[in-house]
Amino acid sequence: MREIAGIQEELDTWRTISEKVNNLRDLAILGDESFRNELEQEIGAVQKILDQLELETLLGGKYDKGNALLSINAGAGGTDAQDWGEMLMRMYLRWAEHNGYETEIINQSPGEEAGIKSVTILISGKYAFGYLRCEKGVHRLVRLSPFDAAHRRHTSFVQVEVLPEVAAEDPSITINPDEISIDVFKSSGAGGQNVQKNATAIRITHIPTGIVVSCQNERSQVQNRENALKVLRGRLYQIELEKQEEKLSELRGEYQKAEWGSQIRSYILHPYQLVKDHRTDYEKGNTSAVLDGEINEFIEEYLKWKKN
């Protein structure tokens, strides 16, 4: 039923565009100059929709149309890296808001002095995973540190992980109850007294792979367990995907696992301002706009680059 609804939505979109184009053509044929401004505006709006639909043709992965689980983990750089993690969290939350996606923070570990050590956000909406998978990798920040008494320039690294929200009924990913260990504990960090009273936080360990997933943001133990299983399913799917890529790469010789030091994007705030994607070489000088969630250009350039 979900597939049928999705196809029906696509058909409705194309029918609407077809009707608009026919109406615009009829107006243009009249040759009335008084309609010129209206025509130009309407044609621009249709072109924008067509550009978006063209971009979506690059999103043909199994879960590209679905929701995304985005995790941010502070790396090298101490307090600066944890602050950088929080800056990235805000950037992605703003991006989601600008693009009409719903967000839910399902797990968050605050930093010792500032920022966050890690956070996992569920981003819900059409093509959320397809777009956000372009953001997977190491993000590097260069700036004058607000946590350094001498105000020296620091470089910080944060790892961004993007997983699909794999449906529980998907037969390709199964979790054997006998292969997981579930621990219940009291939530830590900010959250208020109600969060602290009961042991509602969940830690799931997948014994065959050693993957450990924790969720503690909800007051309900059941909800935390479900969120943890969502993340676990996503990580198991990612492992299977990487195995397939690795097998194919044995013939091509080009597989490279994402690791520290191989940053995908640099955000330079000092001595000049620039955000540069190292995969596509696309760059933007308005760092404030980028950190305020305007990253669609980087995503579009990556999708086009990946296609080629």
The Cα diameter of the chain in Å comes to 74
What is the per-residue pLDDT across 135-150, written as a single tens digit (0 to 9) for each? 999 999 999 999 888 8
Q: Say if residue 254's pLDDT is above 50.
A: no
Average pLDDT over residues 98-126: 93
From its phi and psi, is residue 44 left (phi > 0), alpha (psi between -120 and 50) or beta? alpha
Assign a CATH topology to domain 68-165+264-307: Alpha-Beta Plaits (3.30.70)
The domain made up of 177-252 is a member of CATH 3.30.160.20? yes
Under the banding of pLDDT at 50, 70 and 90, the label for residue 193 is very low
- What pLDDT score was predicted for residue 257? 46
SS (H, E, C) 45-81: HHHHHHHHHHHHCCCCCCCCCCCEEEEEEECCCHHHH
Domain limits, the chain: 2-56, 68-165+264-307, 177-252
- What pLDDT score was predicted for residue 72? 95
What integer best gives the mean pLDDT of the chain?
87
Do the two domains 68-165+264-307 and 177-252 of this chain adopt the same fold? no
Q: Say if residue 255's pLDDT is above 50.
A: no
**Number of other CB atoms surrounding residue 238 within 10 Å:** 17
Q: Say if residue 189's pLDDT is above 90.
A: no
32, 103, 186, 199 from 196: Cα distances, Å: 70, 23, 6, 7
